Amino acid sequence: MPGFDTIVVATDGSDSVSRAVEVALDLAERFDAAVHALYVVDSGEVDSSPEPVREQMRNALQERGGEAIVDVQKRAGRDVTAVVREGRPANEIADYAREIDADLVASGTRGRHGENRFLIGSVAERVVRTCPVPVLTVRQLAGEDADGYGDAPA
């Protein structure tokens, strides 16, 4: 039976990614797949910050990435490969999926900066268009809280 051996969970630590993490972990459990939690420090965000605070910005984003990955690890209740990279998020996600021969990339549809996008965030859109492996985008349902649960209809 076909399935998944390796799943990459692309996380930015935002509330909107919470449901994508749950769905990816459920798939990993069902298929006994390896899980890789990937956070990308957005080099564009770092480079566009004022020179005197760039290193602080980079460190803050790396710390946020560590927290996002620890969250995935705690929720998984199993071994999760933790990866923090720096670069353009969509490129890094696609490159990482290719490098580890992933079977699936799971992503939220909106990230930390995506609330102004109508249907899908710009990073998720680029990942869908450029990733060499299937991409599962998962939207947060209306009414969900930060844990991905709430009054939303099933």
User: Which CATH number applies to 6-138?
Assistant: 3.40.50.620
The ranges assigned to domains in the chain are 6-138
pLDDT score at 33: 97
Residue 140 has pLDDT above 90, yes or no: no
Q: How many CB atoms lie within 10 A of CB 112?
A: 17
What number of CA atoms fall less than 13 Å from residue 41's CA on the CB side? Answer: 22
Specify the pairing of strand 34-42 against strand 80-87. Answer: parallel
pLDDT given at position 58: 94
Kindly state the average pLDDT of the residues 98-111.
91
pTM of the model: 0.83
Share of the chain above pLDDT 90, in %: 71
Q: Which amino acid is at 103?
A: D
- Tokens representing 131? 């990733």
117: amino acid identity, one letter = R
